[in-house]
């Protein structure tokens, strides 16, 4: 007896099915199934994967969809439309096309319900219209016939079944299921009666949602992840546990308590009948390149040829082909011939067309990306801007005549213009032929571990701890199966799996049970890798010659855009043209820089593509000996790279890369290209970069054979590029470049049989070329080893161009480049903070927002960068537009009343105005921000009244006799109501406002002065912006302020803390474990400069943390006036940094500056404090209380109090700070005794 599963849900029934297709097929084959259908809920996500997974196996794929049927027009506005389940299977290729059509219609036109109950629906009219090639069944208990039976409406059930019988004939089946419920029994009995009455065949199915009976608990956890509930909850969705993939024998054991054996056997046998009806789907194969309209008299081939030759002439600035260098002429002829022979001329025209559109519409396009930069045709057509002949790039790396496959030209566009190009393509080829591409987000080991922990009730802390033990390599966390194996990279993880049990509590903290780590992880392993959600590919766009809904099912993304239901790999298998339209922010930055340069340098227009071209020419002239040094602008560029000023330079920003670039000292674009190719995990682990640097700076290079020198000379004898492997095969062993590309691919896959064949060919060919056999053998082994590391030179060279362009602009136009960099990253406060810090190093002043100077974006004035208004929190686009329009119309705002009077206060409301004041945008009008806040409400009311008067045509006292409107306004503004005078906010409070509204301190920073002191004292801190670049477990020192403190208790009840820290450039998290926390607890305070020493922790997927080992406060304040209400006065500025305002001399305390409040006294109260005591709130309160107790009355001589910091720095040099006069004392002897008794160290200095 044989059984075919016809009602199967995979993990493409998101968070409802747990079966992954490869394992599902293997299990079905093991069970002896002749065929298997996948019928995911409302979608066809897995159809192509199913076909590919069944290739070469003894099982037939059946593409299906468990659809939702409504008995209403699709556009009905009826609330709560009744939706029924309906299994639809594709019998053949036409059936596949119709199923695609129905699925697409259901998603684009038929979605009913909202949120989690939204379902894509079709109706019976559509089913009838697209019935050809389809098989339908009555589905599960959710089907319309079963539902009518359960409602006791047998006539309705008969009517519905008869309709399907009439429309689909013998391609309609009644579906029997037995999952142990009473409803199944009721329905099955009546379905058999209907089958006999209406001559409809029955089939037996099992509504499979997971593969094995051992997956029941894991699938239950998956359901809880979907619904947000816990497994121990009583009222939640559950399955019976029988919904797994069953064999024919298991199916025969079902139904027996309510159906006869002959009926059961018939139903099972009919599943094979259905399987036998299924014909092969002819949907994979030949490319479906869209039709491109070529001019009259041309074919696609001749048009490509014309464009390419014209482009080559233009590139060289010549008028005839005879003037072209032979190398270029021969290469172009060869490439055109290959493109024509392989049938890809239309492809090139499609790409050329949309890139031409972008260039014609001033949308910046990258110089190239990927292997396409190796094509001279692409270069001459303007698709790329990389000369492949000059750079030694290979066409066969892009398009191999000996292995026909679709070319792949990916393109970088300015991030602001990318969507316009997609819109153009959509309009050119039709909305029905262009769509973006779906992606699926799978549950990785870390994610599934945490998700299953949540539904089991495992405490978050334990789940987080276990997740952090999982290492991440190249962005992928290690699999759980590896983590629990003997080869685990983290023994503590396996130890917990083998032995630990976790207590589970309810919301009240009461114990309700336990769960072993083994049970938890075993459940997680079973659903690891399943799909959780869908998304949209960041760059992928598919373009088709035919309407897409005849080839691939479509749906809407969450934003309403149309996307495919197949991922990129599946679309390529269908032969669809996939393009990557990538948005590269650096192209936007380059264009904005050029715009700024045009504004600030008398309309100077730079061509970004000319920059690397000029570098090439300069290098050639230098090599020929015609000049002795590079032009100044190029030399300046390479000096910037040499000193490591790489913030904002494309691909070189990380601290690891900065160190390498500084050591390498690149002197040409080829060096940049090489280092981009080498700075990856493989070459780094192999130690290639130190060798590369040493050889560049003079270490002797030895080549195993003379033929290698021209191939490896550019990279100092080191195999860096895939193209070098190909050239070695060509020049040494006589391979064609097409064969050499196949060799490169074989080396990457390392299939033993193929490798043995290639080894023999290479050695044989090399020896025929005069290479000794032993050398040939060694070279082949080297090639195999380095094939894993070698990079695509075409891509590396193209990106080296962008790197050079950004470095050139930063080196030669630093203010313009930094303004563009800040504008392009204005939405990322961490990056803005980092780049503003870099501006300081470049001596470029960044001024706060200014109501009379700021535009929307960052701008440049007199070499300074002015903040854009868009950077101000609470200031929306409408408010900015009103402000700029008013300013452009009537000039700068002269006062707060003037501003309120000229803008629409409905758009520029009080919150927006308050934000502008507090961030300093009105400082040029009135620097007293607190005074402006006091005036604000009065000014707004006054302006509103004026607006009413003007609307009603009334005149006021000041308008009578005024000659002009401006005189009227000026007089009115002068008499606008004002609040009483108030003292401005303290400096620290102003800084806090800036941080709140701009995201960081701008006019100053609590760490700004501390950094200078640290530099003087030999502290070399790591910037938090570069913490990610530090190796795991490496020791670091940082100088930071703490912005948030979260004290927590461990399971044992010990106290620890998680600190949010930041410095001038970035922010991070620091963890203080219990042992350290006990020692440093008193020193932990917010907004206080602190030195932290610790280890870098990188075990989490999130950003790197610091595990704190030492924490030392720095008792320093920024320069300010002495405070009457504080314990510590300020430091005064000195020429070489900040100095304390007193020094301890042999003859007493002496000021080291001209003080504003110098007391006339020979006696001082000297109070020695540690930095910890200075920042400790309890100590401050106690000290304040004692000093005020002994301060005496308003009359009488008072003794100044000086705090001596005995351990301010590593050199233990005492520093002295005089307290404000309000803390001076009269009874000096009494206060000394009291202070010493209280644990302070006090004494009297002087007479």
Per-residue pLDDT reduced to its tens digit, 681-709 = 889 888 899 999 999 999 999 999 999 99
Architecture, CATH, for domain 825-991: Orthogonal Bundle (1.10)
Task: Say if residues 1111 and 1092 touch (Cβ distance below 8 Å).
Answer: yes
User: What count of other Cβ atoms lies within 10 Å of the Cβ of residue 854?
Assistant: 25
pLDDT of residue 1130: 34
CB atoms within 10 A of CB 862: 8
Predicted confidence band at 1174 (pLDDT cuts at 50, 70, 90)?
A: low
Residue range 1124-1153: mean pLDDT, rounded: 37
Distance from CA of residue 260 to its chain's centroid? 59
3-state secondary structure 412-463: EEECCCHHHHHHHHHHHHCHHHEEEEEEEEECCHHHHHHHHHHHHCCCHHHH
Q: What is the pLDDT of residue 1127?
A: 35
Which pLDDT tens digit goes with each residue over 491-527? 999 999 999 999 888 877 788 889 999 999 999 999 9
294, 354, 395 from 299: Cα distances, Å: 7, 19, 23
What letter would DSSP give residue 253? T
Find out whether 659 and 652 touch, Cβ atoms under 8 Å.
no
Mean of all residue pLDDT scores within the chain: 88
Instruction: Enter the tokens of residue 916.
Output: 């502008």
More confident residue, 975 or 617: 617
Token pair of 890, please?
């009537």
C-alpha distances in angstroms, 993 versus 820, 847, 873, 917, 990? 25, 16, 11, 10, 5
Between CA 1170 and CA 1179, with CA 1174 as vertex, the angle to 5 degrees is 100
Name the pTM for this structure. Answer: 0.81
Name the pLDDT band for 1191 (thresholds 50, 70, 90).
confident
Q: Which of 700-714, 779-793, 958-972, 1056-1070 has the lowest mean pLDDT?
A: 958-972
What are the C-alpha distances in Å from 1020 to residues 929, 1011, 1172?
37, 9, 22
Q: What share of the chain is helix, strand, coil (3-state, %, to 5)?
A: 45, 15, 35
CATH 3.90.1150.10 fits 21-208+245-277, yes or no: no
Instruction: Tell me the pLDDT tens digit for each residue of 336-386.
Output: 999 999 999 999 999 999 999 999 999 999 999 999 999 999 999 999 999
Do the beta carbons of residue 35 and residue 61 sit within 8 Å? yes
Dig out the tokens for 581 from the structure.
């339209």
- Of 990, 1214, 1221, 1015, give the one whose Cα is nearest residue 1118: 990
Cα–Cα distance measured from residue 1043 to residue 1066, given in angstroms and rounded to the nearest whole number: 12
Residue 8's contacts (CB-CB under 8 Å, 6 or more residues apart) are 19, 24, 36, 37, 38, 39, 208, 245
Residue range 1005-1113 in CATH 3.40.50.300 = no
What is the residue-wise DSSP string for 809-836? HHHHSHHHHHHHHHHHTTT-HHHHHHHH
Check residue 962 and give its pLDDT. 41
Predicted local confidence at residue 261, as pLDDT = 95
Say what the pLDDT of residue 1203 is.
80
**pLDDT of 832 higher than 90:** no
What are the phi and psi torsion angles at 1204 (to 5°)? -105, 115
Packing angle, helices 345-360 and 300-316, rounded to 10: 50
- Inter-residue contact 389 to 376 (CB < 8 Å): yes
Judge whether 871 and 998 are in contact, CB under 8 Å: yes
Mean pLDDT lowest among 207-211, 455-459, 566-570, 1020-1024: 1020-1024
Q: Tokens 């030895």 — which residue? A: 702
Integer Rg of the chain from CA: 38
- pLDDT recorded at residue 921: 95
Task: Identify the residue whose tokens are 């690149």.
Answer: 666
Q: Say yes or no to pLDDT of 1145 above 50.
A: no
Phi, psi dihedrals of residue 177, rounded to the nearest 5° = -130, 150
CA distance from start to end of the chain: 113
Most confident of the ranges 458-462, 470-474, 1084-1088, 1170-1174: 458-462
| Mean pLDDT of the 110-128 span | 92
Taking every pair of Cα atoms in the chain, the longest distance, rounded to a whole number of angstroms, is 121
More confident residue, 333 or 538: 333
Give per-residue pLDDT as tens, 1058-1115.
999 988 878 899 999 998 998 888 888 887 788 899 999 876 555 789 999 998 877 5
CA distances from 691 to 663, 685, 703, 888, 1023 (A): 12, 12, 14, 60, 28
3-class state of residue 1180 by DSSP: helix
Residue in the structure block whose two tokens are 């299990």: 27
Nearest by Cα to 801 from 1045, 580, 616: 616
Question: How many angstroms separate the CA atoms of 806 and 637, rounded?
Answer: 9
Phi, psi values for residue 846, rounded to 5°: -110, 115
Please tell me the predicted confidence (pLDDT) of residue 1220.
Answer: 66
CB contact burial 73-109 (16+ within 10 A = b; e otherwise): ebeeeeeebebbbbbbbbbbeebbbbbbbbbbbbbee
| Other CB atoms within 10 A of residue 397 CB | 26
- At residue 443's C-alpha, the angle toward residues 439 and 448, to 5°, is 165
Q: How many CA atoms lie within 13 A of 11 on its CB side?
A: 25
Q: What per-residue confidence (pLDDT) applies to 1247?
A: 64
Is residue 444 predicted with pLDDT exceeding 60?
Answer: yes
Rounded mean pLDDT of 913-939? 94
> Which secondary structure element, helix H or strand E, spans residue 1008, and what is its range?
helix 1008-1016
Residues 1094 and 680: their CA atoms lie apart, in Å, by 27
Query: Residue 1094: beta bridge partners?
Result: 1036, 1108
Q: Under 8 Å CB-to-CB from 974, ≥6 apart: which residues?
A: none
Does the pLDDT of residue 1143 top 90, yes or no?
Answer: no
CA distances from 764 to 548, 719, 736, 737 (A): 50, 22, 15, 17
* Contact of 676 with 682, CB cutoff 8 Å: no
Which region among 38-52, 358-372, 747-761, 810-824 has the lowest average model confidence (pLDDT)? 747-761
Task: Return the structure tokens found at 619.
Answer: 């290098």
All residues at 6 or more sequence positions from 65 whose CB lies less than 8 Å from its CB, including other chains? 39, 40, 42, 43, 44, 87, 88, 99, 102, 103
Percentage of the residues of the chain whose pLDDT score is greater than 90: 67
- Dihedral over alpha carbons 1059, 1062, 1066, 1072 (to 10 degrees): -30
Q: DSSP letter at 968?
A: H
Whether residue 951 is predicted with pLDDT greater than 70 in this model: the reply is no
Considering only 50-59, 429-438, 594-603, 1236-1245, which range has the smallest mean pLDDT? 1236-1245
User: So what's the pLDDT on residue 960?
Assistant: 39
pLDDT tens string 198-245: 999 999 999 999 999 999 999 999 999 999 999 988 888 889 999 999
Q: With contact defined as beta carbons under 8 Å apart, do 393 and 338 qualify?
A: no
471: its two tokens:
């290492």
Can you tell me the distance from the alpha carbon of 870 to that of 823, in angstroms, rounded to the nearest whole number? Answer: 9
Query: What is the reported pLDDT for 834?
Result: 87
Per-residue pLDDT, averaged over 972-978, amounts to: 74
- For the segment 144-174, what is each residue's pLDDT rounded down to a tens digit? 999 999 999 999 999 999 999 999 999 999 9
| Whether the Cβ atoms of residue 458 and residue 221 lie closer than 8 Å to each other | no
Dihedral of CA atoms 849, 855, 861, 867 in degrees, nearest 10, equals 30
Do 16 and 26 form a contact (C-beta atoms < 8 A)?
Answer: no
Domains of the chain, by residue range, sit at 21-208+245-277, 300-440+536-586, 587-807, 825-991, 1005-1113, 1132-1246
Q: Give the count of alpha carbons within 13 A of 274, CB side only.
A: 38
Backbone phi and psi for residue 363, each to the nearest 5 degrees, phi listed first: -100, 115
Q: What is the pLDDT confidence band of residue 920, given thresholds at 50, 70 and 90?
A: very high
**How far is CA 1060 from its chain centroid?**
22
Position 826 scores a pLDDT of 85
What residues contact residue 45 under an 8 Å CB cut-off, 6+ apart? 12, 438, 440, 531, 534, 565, 566
């Amino acid at each position: 007896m044989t059984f075919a599963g016809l009602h199967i849900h995979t993990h493409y029934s998101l968070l409802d099915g747990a079966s992954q297709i490869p394992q599902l097929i293997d299990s079905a084959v093991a069970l002896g199934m002749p065929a298997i259908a996948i019928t995911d809920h409302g979608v066809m996500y897995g159809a192509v994967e199913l076909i590919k997974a069944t290739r070469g196996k003894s099982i037939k794929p059946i593409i299906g969809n468990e659809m939702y049927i409504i008995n209403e027009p699709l556009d009905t506005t009826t609330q709560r439309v009744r939706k029924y389940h309906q299994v639809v299977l594709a019998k053949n290729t036409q059936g596949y096309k119709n199923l695609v059509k129905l699925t697409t219609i259901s998603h684009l036109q038929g979605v009913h319900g909202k949120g989690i109950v939204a379902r894509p629906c079709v109706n019976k009219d559509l089913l009838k219209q697209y019935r050809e090639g389809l098989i339908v069944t009555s589905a599960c208990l959710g089907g319309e016939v079963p539902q009518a039976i359960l409602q006791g409406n047998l006539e309705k059930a008969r009517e519905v079944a008869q309709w399907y019988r009439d429309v689909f004939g013998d391609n309609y089946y009644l579906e029997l299921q037995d999952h142990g419920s009473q409803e199944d029994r009721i329905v099955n009995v009546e379905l058999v009666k209907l089958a006999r009455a209406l001559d409809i065949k029955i089939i037996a199915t099992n509504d499979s949602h997971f593969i094995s009976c051992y997956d029941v608990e894991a699938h239950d956890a998956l359901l809880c992840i979907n619904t947000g509930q816990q497994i121990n909850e009583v009222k939640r969705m559950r399955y019976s546990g029988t919904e797994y993939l069953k064999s024919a024998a298991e199916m025969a054991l079902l139904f027996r308590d309510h159906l006869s054996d002959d009926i059961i056997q018939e139903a099972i046998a009919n599943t094979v009948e259905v399987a036998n009806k299924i014909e092969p789907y002819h949907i994979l194969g030949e490319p479906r390149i869209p039709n491109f309209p070529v001019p009259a008299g041309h074919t696609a081939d001749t048009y490509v040829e014309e464009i390419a030759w014209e482009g080559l002439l233009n590139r060289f600035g010549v008028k005839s082909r005879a003037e072209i260098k032979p190398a270029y002429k021969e290469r172009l002829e060869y490439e055109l011939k290959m493109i024509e022979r392989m049938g890809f001329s239309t492809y090139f025209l499609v790409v050329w067309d949309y890139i031409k559109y972008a260039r014609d519409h001033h949308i910046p396009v990258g110089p190239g990306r990927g292997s396409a930069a190796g094509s001279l045709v692409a270069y001459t057509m303007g698709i790329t801007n990389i000369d492949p002949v000059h750079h030694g790039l290979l066409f066969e790396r892009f398009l191999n005549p000996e292995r026909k496959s679709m070319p792949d030209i990916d393109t970088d566009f300015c991030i602001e213009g990318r969507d316009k190009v997609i819109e153009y393509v959509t309009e050119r080829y039709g909305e029905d032929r262009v769509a973006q591409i779906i992606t699926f987000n799978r549950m990785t080991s870390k994610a599934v571990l945490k998700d299953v922990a949540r539904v089991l009730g495992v405490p978050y802390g334990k789940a987080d701890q276990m997740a952090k033990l999982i290492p991440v390599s190249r962005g992928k966390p290690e699999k759980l199966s590896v983590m629990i194996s003997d080869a685990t990279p983290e023994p503590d993880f396996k130890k917990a799996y083998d032995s630990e049990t976790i207590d589970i509590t309810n919301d009240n903290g009461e114990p309700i049970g336990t769960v072993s780590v083994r049970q938890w992880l075993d459940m997680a392993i079973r659903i690891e890798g399943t799909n959780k959600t869908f998304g949209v590919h960041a760059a992928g766009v598919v373009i088709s010659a035919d309407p897409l809904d005849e080839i691939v099912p479509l749906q809407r993304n969450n934003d309403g855009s149309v996307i495919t239901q197949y991922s990129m790999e599946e679309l390529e298998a269908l032969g669809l043209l996939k393009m990557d339209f990538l948005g590269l922010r650096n192209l936007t930055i380059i264009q904005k820089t050029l715009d700024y340069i045009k504004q600030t340098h008398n309309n100077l227009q730079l061509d970004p593509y000319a920059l690397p071209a000029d570098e090439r020419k300069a290098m050639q002239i230098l090599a020929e000996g015609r000049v002795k040094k590079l032009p100044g602008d190029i030399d300046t560029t390479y000096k910037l790279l040499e000193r490591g000023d790489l913030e904002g330079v494309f691909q070189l920003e990380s601290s690891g890369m900065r160190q390498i670039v500084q050591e390498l000292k690149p002197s040409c674009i080829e060096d940049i290209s090489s280092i981009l190719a080498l700075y990856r995990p493989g070459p780094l682990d192999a130690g290639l970069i130190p060798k590369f640097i040493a050889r560049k700076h003079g270490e002797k290079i030895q080549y195993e054979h003379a033929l290698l020198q021209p191939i490896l000379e550019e990279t100092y004898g080191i195999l860096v590029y895939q193209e070098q492997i190909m050239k070695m095969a060509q020049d040494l062993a006589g391979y064609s470049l097409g064969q050499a590309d196949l060799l490169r691919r074989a080396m990457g896959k390392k299939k033993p049989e193929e490798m043995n064949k290639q080894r023999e060919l290479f050695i044989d060919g090399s020896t025929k070329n005069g290479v000794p056999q032993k050398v040939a053998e060694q070279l082949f082994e080297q090639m195999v080893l380095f094939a894993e590391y070698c990079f695509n030179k075409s891509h590396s060279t193209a990106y080296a161009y962008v790197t050079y362009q950004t470095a050139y602009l930063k080196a030669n136009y630093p203010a313009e480049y930094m303004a563009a960099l800040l504008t392009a990253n204005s939405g990322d406060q961490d990056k803005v903070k980092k780049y503003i810090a870099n501006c300081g190093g470049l001596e470029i002043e960044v001024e706060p927002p200014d109501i009379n100077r700021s535009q929307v974006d960052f701008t440049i004035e007199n070499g300074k960068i002015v903040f854009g208004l868009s950077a101000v929190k609470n200031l929306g686009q409408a408010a900015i537009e009103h402000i700029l329009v008013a300013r452009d119309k009537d000039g700068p705002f002269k006062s707060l009343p003037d501003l309120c009077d000229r803008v629409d206060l409905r758009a520029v409301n009080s919150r927006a105005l308050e934000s502008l004041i507090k961030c300093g945008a009105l400082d040029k009008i009135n620097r007293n921000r607190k005074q402006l806040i006091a005036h604000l409400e009065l000014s707004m009311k006054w302006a509103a009244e004026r607006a009413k008067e003007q609307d009603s045509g009334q005149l006021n006292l000041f308008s009578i006799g005024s000659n002009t409107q401006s005189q009227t306004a000026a007089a009115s503004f002068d008499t606008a109501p004002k609040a009483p005078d108030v003292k401005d906010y303290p400096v620290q409070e102003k800084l806090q406002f800036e941080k709140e509204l701009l995201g960081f301190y701008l006019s100053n920073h609590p760490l700004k002065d501390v950094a200078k002191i640290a530099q003087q004292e030999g502290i070399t801190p790591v910037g938090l912006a570069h913490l990610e670049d530090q190796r795991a477990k490496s020791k670091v020192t940082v100088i930071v302020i703490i912005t948030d403190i979260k004290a927590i208790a461990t399971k044992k009840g010990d106290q620890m803390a998680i600190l949010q820290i930041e410095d001038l450039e970035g922010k991070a998290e620091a963890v203080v474990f219990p042992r350290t926390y006990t020692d440093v607890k008193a020193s932990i305070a917010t907004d206080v400069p602190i030195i932290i020493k610790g280890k870098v922790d990188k075990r989490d997927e999130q950003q790197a943390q610091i595990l704190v080992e030492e924490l030392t406060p720095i008792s320093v304040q920024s320069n300010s006036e002495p405070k009457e209400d504080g314990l510590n006065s300020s430091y005064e500025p000195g020429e070489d940094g900040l100095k304390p305002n007193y020094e301890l001399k042999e003859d007493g305390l002496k000021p080291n500056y001209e003080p504003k409040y110098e007391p006339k006294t020979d006696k001082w109260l000297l109070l020695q404090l540690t930095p910890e005591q200075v920042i400790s709130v309890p100590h401050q309160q106690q000290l304040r209380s004692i000093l005020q107790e002994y301060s005496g009355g308003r009359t009488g001589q008072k003794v100044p109090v000086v705090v001596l910091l005995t351990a301010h720095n590593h050199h233990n040099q005492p520093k002295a700070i005089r307290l404000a006069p309000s803390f001076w004392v009269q009874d000096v002897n009494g206060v000394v005794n009291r202070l010493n008794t209280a644990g302070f160290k006090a004494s009297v200095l002087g007479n």
